[in-house]
Each structure stands twice: as structure tokens, then as C-alpha cells.
Amino acid sequence: MEMDLEKFREFFMSRMNSGMHGHFGSLGLVCTFIEDGRAGLDLPYDERFVTNPASGILAGGVITALVDTCCAIASATRAENFGFSPTLDLRIDHMGVAEAGKTVHAEAEVYRTTRNVIFTRGKVFQEDRARPIAHCLVNFTPVAHKVMDSQAGMEAQS
Amino acid sequence: MKEFDFPKLYRNARENNNAQILIDSLPYAQFLGMKAQYVEGALSFYLPPLKSNIGNPNLPALHGGAIGGFMEVAAVVHLLMELDQEKIAGTEPRIPKVVDFSIDYLRACRFEDTFASCEVVRQGRRMANVAIRVWQSTPDNLTATARAHYVLG
């Protein structure tokens, strides 16, 4: 079956709505949009991800997991057969903290694709998109995927 | 706001040289399922293989984000145990805040026991630079490395 962006989006969204297992599911991530080279992902606030129970501020690590996943979805839209690629490296700058009780939003875009690397960048914010709490750069190494390989992977999780 | 006496927990962990006391009190560390361990007196961290941390079910491999989170908490706990936060802050001890974090994923983390160790590369008045190494099977089989800056006190 030939993959296109529309099919990838439909497949990913329907998989997500029926409940994802693995780390994606345990974080409770919600994909908000998938476009060519772009993706949005929400992390609903959850006390399990808190670093300091007195303040309710989220751990830096869970923000890393959020941006890694968001950038991975964006990267898949530019990869052969819409497959997911392994993360080569990730750099995140925390300009602020994720405050208690508020959903954390991530947005990612592919800014360049070469034969060996898919370059992505993302930002994280809570209430104000113009005031991000984190920026990130994430590079992926595209691997040759058979058609629907990544989707088969998602099937296996469900 | 919950009852959470961090200074008391911190002193207890340091007096007993037991980082697990801190890990037990941090919800995100509990979520990941990580543990502290001491090998010949040296602190390191252990992440048992849990389905909730899987990223790619085909291989299967652990999620890069879960590994990132594991490294991040490991560095926080290492800093808390290694440095006298009360002396640095001159006030009540606080949980170090991450400023930036850079990870190199060297190979896929298989669905098996994963370990991390940290080293304070440089401690300044306000900031610390920490190196983190993650391995499986043997300490020379690195699966990821990272460097990070934390604000102290």
C-alpha cells in the first residue's frame, strides 16, 4: 500500500485514539496535528511527572521525552514510507519550568533533510506560545523502512 | 501543594549515604521505575526493563525519551548526593534545576537492564556541569552519553 501524508495522519491519529501502549501511552501524549514536516504533541499535566511535590513543577526529563517524540513524528513525515527513525542526538534548553496543573504543548518542524540526517527543531510552551519554556534540536538518522513498517510497530503496541 | 519536607529528606539521604531515599520521594523517578545502587561505594542508577518505557516494540527498544528522563533524574540525584547543597545555597537545600541537556544516542537501548553513572565535571558557584553515561550489559557498552548544566541551590 502506498503511504501518503493523509493516510499516515489518519493511521497515527486512530491508533492514538484507541490507546497507545509503551512510553507514548504511559505519558498520555496527545497528538494535536500532523502536517508535512510538522507535528504538535500535548502532554496533559499529571502528578506522576512531577519533580518536586511541593511545587508541582514537572521534571525536565519528561519535557525531553515530549520533544523527542514530537520531533520524531515530524521527522516521519519526511522519511521514506513515513517510517520512524532512531534519534541520533538531542539538545534541549530550558528557559522556564512547566508549571503545575497546565497542559504542556510541543511543536516540531523539520528544517532540513539530507541523505543521512533529518534535522528537526521544536519548542515547548504552556499558556503562551510566544513565551516558550524550552527549545530543542533533535537529529534523526533515517533508516530504510518497508512500507507500513512503522505502522506495524504501532499495531503491535495496541 | 503536598506535604513534602525536602530538606529533611535530603539530610536523611546524605547522613545515611542512601540516594534511594531521594528517588522514593520524586514522583517522576518512581514513574520511570529507576533505582539507586552502590557498587563498591560508588553511586549509580538502575532502570529495570518496564513495558511502560518501550519506544519501538519491533526491536524492542526503550524509548529515547525515557532514557533521557532516566539520565536527567540520575544527574539531579547525583548532584544532590555529591555536593553539599546547603553549603552552596547558604539556605535550605533545593532540587537542582536543569538549564540545558545534550544527549548522544550511541545505540538502541534494548529491552533489558539499563544503568547510568554521573560525574560532576565542574562545579561553579551557581552552576554545575555534569556528564552522564548510560550502558547495558557492561560499563564499556555505552548506549548513550549526555552533558548537562544545572543551577544549584
Q: How far is B83 from chain A (nearest CA, A)?
A: 19
C-alpha cell at B27: 514522583
Q: Do A60 and B72 touch (CB under 8 A)?
A: yes
> Is B9 in CB contact (< 8 Å) with chain A?
no
Q: Where are the beta strands (DSSP E) in A2-151?
A: 30-35, 38-43, 50-52, 57-58, 87-94, 104-113, 118-125, 134-140
Cβ-Cβ contacts under 8 Å between A and B: the total is 136
Which residue has cell 511527572? A49
Q: How far is A118 from chain B (nearest CA, A)?
A: 15
SS3 state of residue B53: helix
Q: What is the pTM of this model?
A: 0.93
Show pLDDT as tens, one digit a residue, over chain A (158 residues): 578 999 999 988 888 777 778 898 899 999 999 999 999 999 999 999 999 899 999 999 999 999 999 999 999 999 988 989 999 999 999 999 999 999 999 999 999 999 999 999 999 999 999 999 999 999 999 987 654 444 444 444 43
C-alpha cell at A44: 496533559
Cis peptide before B60 (omega within 30 of 0): yes
Q: Do B27 and A22 touch (CB under 8 A)?
A: no
ipTM of the complex: 0.93
Residues of A in contact with B6 (CB under 8 A): 52, 54
Tens of pLDDT, residues B21-44:
999 999 999 999 999 999 999 999
